[in-house]
Amino acid sequence: MAGALGIVLLLFAIYIVPIVPGVPRTQAELKFSVLDTVGDPLVCTGWGMPNPPFTPDTEYPRIVANLPTYLAIIRHERLPPTPLTHEDVVAVYRAWLKLNAVQLRWRNGYYEFELFPGPSPSEQLRNAILGKVDLAGRVYDVHDGADFGACPICLISTTPIATPDGSLPVSRIAVGMHVWSLDASGHRIDVEVARVVVRIDAPGSELIHLTLADGRELTASAPHRLADGRTLGSLRIGDTVDGTHVVAVQAVPDIDGRTYDFLPSSETGEYWAGGVLLQSTMHG
């Protein structure tokens, strides 16, 4: 009984101590200070796609495992440090996504922060918001950055693209180069690249890592479409892609912070990435 009471008192102390003036804030609390000052960030995640693994309930244990962040969330959202209802878990997950969308870089005695302002439409480019936050949570020097970005809609830099000269990473594809595509009759054709795009992705973005039964793998944004029109984020284990089955669909962090795409000069706008036939995001 005494042990249980001690745990309760410890949780209560951890819950209230960081809000005492003069006590340095955790990174999560500093991020909330930023959000309370500049507004909600752009959140890019696979959640909302018809894929059961990307839900608040499945992510909740990972959030709780980071106790300082979890306690900062329940304080900010005014939730009790006790077992939560499903609605409370959803609130925690939404707050966690917002925290992930704020990037902090330590300088000499303060943090620089960066985020892209939300909310949707997520595909719309917008200026980054930059500023500083000190260890007491004071936010200052807030201004627009030079970079434009949005949620990722393309491929990671190392994605192999099929070309007449062999496989090349998408980051090396340039206007005027030749790639394999399909014509309207489904025949493979050699075409020039008409356009390329490199997008700076909002902090905290997630991508989809697809694994097929024959060993092919692809990492790209959830909205990127297969040649048949389905998005990567809509796929489930057991679905058929290019004549084989999906064996894994995972949400992975967007480590590079940049995604790439190009437009083949063909009627279909299709190309092979990682051996999977995709449609360019710029087609049509």
Residue 195 pLDDT > 80, yes or no?
Answer: yes
In a domain, 171, yes or no: yes
Whether residues 145 and 166 share a domain: the answer is no
Last residue of a domain, one of 117, 149, 181: 149
My answer on whether 115 and 30 are in the same domain is yes
Q: Which sign, positive or negative, has the C-alpha torsion 127, 128, 129, 131? A: negative
- Are 32 and 113 within one domain? yes
Write down the pLDDT at residue 186.
92
Q: What is the CATH number of the domain that holds 228?
A: 2.170.16.10
Shared domain check, 167 and 246? yes
Whether the CB-CB separation of 177 and 169 falls below 8 Å is answered with no
Residue 148 has pLDDT above 90, yes or no: no
pLDDT at 173: 97
Per-residue pLDDT reduced to its tens digit, 155-175: 999 999 999 999 999 999 999
pLDDT above 70 as % of the chain: 87
Domain count, the chain: 2
Last residue of a domain, one of 149, 174, 209: 149
For residue 2, tell me if it sits in a domain: no
Residue 222: how many other CB atoms lie within 10 Å = 26
Q: Do 166 and 140 share a domain, yes or no?
A: no
Paired residues of 47 in beta bridges: 49
Higher-confidence position of 25 and 52: 25
Residue 136 sits in the same domain as residue 176: no
pLDDT, tens only, 64-118:
999 999 999 999 999 987 889 999 999 999 999 999 999 999 999 999 999 999 8
The full DSSP string for 199-257 is EEEPTT-EEEEEEETTS-EEEE-TTPBBTTS-BGGG--TT-EETTEEEEEEEEEE-SSS
49 class by beta-carbon count within 10 Å (0-12 exposed, 13-18 middle, 19+ buried): buried
Name the residue range of residue 37's domain: 11-149
Query: In terms of domains, do 67 and 188 share one?
Result: no
Q: What is the model's pLDDT at position 52?
A: 46
Low-confidence winner among 14-18, 156-160, 183-187, 200-204 (lowest mean pLDDT): 14-18
End position of a domain, from candidates 149, 172, 193: 149
Residues 213 and 232 placed together within one structural domain of the fold: yes
State the Cα–Cα distance between residues 129 and 208, nearest whole angstrom.
26
pLDDT higher at 245 or 15? 245
Do 179 and 121 share a structural domain? no
Work out the number of other CB atoms within 10 angstroms of the CB of residue 238. Answer: 9
> Residue 134: is its pLDDT beyond 60?
yes
